Amino acid sequence: MSAEPPQPTDLDITLRKLADRAFTATLHRLRGVRGLLHGWSQVGVPVQDLPQLDARFDEDLELLARLDWLRSLLQQSPPLERLEGGEAPLVLLACAMGHGSPGENQLNRAQVIPQPVQPVGALSLALWLEEAIPYEAVSNLKWSFAGDSLHVSHQQARNLDCAPWTQRFGSLLAEGSAPHQGQLVYRRGIFRELSTGQAGS
């Protein structure tokens, strides 16, 4: 923890920074998918790869739609409640945890990111990570489950005034949380503990 005075936080600014990185990651992924589709158009697609071709066409449309809502988010300042549905919480959490875009990193696997039961949990964690953890150090994030509660911690958290974040998302937390010190404990039922187990990033 830094000895400097706590820095104020602004959730709108935090969201814009995170959305900007998510936009870049999505664009990067789209270029990769388009490159693959172009290559197949030049050489043809083996019969055994036809299902993969269909999946890439579907992903192409998905990525275009994602770019659209991310662009809208960057141009406007929608209320956070509007981001609690659809793919937004997982897309933003993937980016905040340093994984780029969900499709690129197969984030349906439990060991990669925590899986939310309540989407607001993923959104809250994404915004906290963006505010509190230097992006270059996010790979040192530790998370695990104990008693059906998600425990998240990081030793290099910035010295922040987390009051705006806590005012908005504090009801999701359980005893033992200290957002300004790099430690969150989510209540039961916010994230899902899967039987395959989890590994912190």
What does pLDDT average to in each consecutive run of 10 residues of the chain (201 residues)?
Answer: 58 93 93 81 72 81 94 90 92 91 55 87 96 90 92 90 92 95 96 62 44
Distance CA 85, CA 88 (A): 7
Check if the beta carbon of residue 16 is closer than 8 Å to that of residue 170: no
Environment class of residue 184 by beta-carbon count within 10 Å: exposed (0-12), middle (13-18) or buried (19+)?
A: buried
Q: How far apart are CA 117 and CA 6, in angstroms?
A: 32
What pLDDT, in 10s, does the model give residues 130-139?
A: 999 998 899 8
Taking a C-beta distance cutoff of 8 angstroms, is the pair 177, 185 a contact?
yes
Mean pLDDT, the chain, rounded, equals 85
Q: Tell me the whole-structure pTM to 2 decimals.
A: 0.84
* Cα distances (Å, whole numbers) of residue 161 to 41, 131, 177, 182: 53, 10, 14, 12
Q: Which two tokens stand for residue 51?
A: 């299902």
Chain segment 58-73, per-residue pLDDT in tens = 888 999 999 999 999 9
User: H helices of 44-162, where?
Assistant: 50-75, 88-96, 102-105, 119-132
| φ, ψ at 146 (rounded to 5°) | -145, 120
Beta bridge partners of 150: 145
The pLDDT, as a whole number, for residue 113 is 86
| Greatest pairwise CA separation for the chain in angstroms | 62
Closest C-alpha among 187, 22, 40 to residue 118: 187
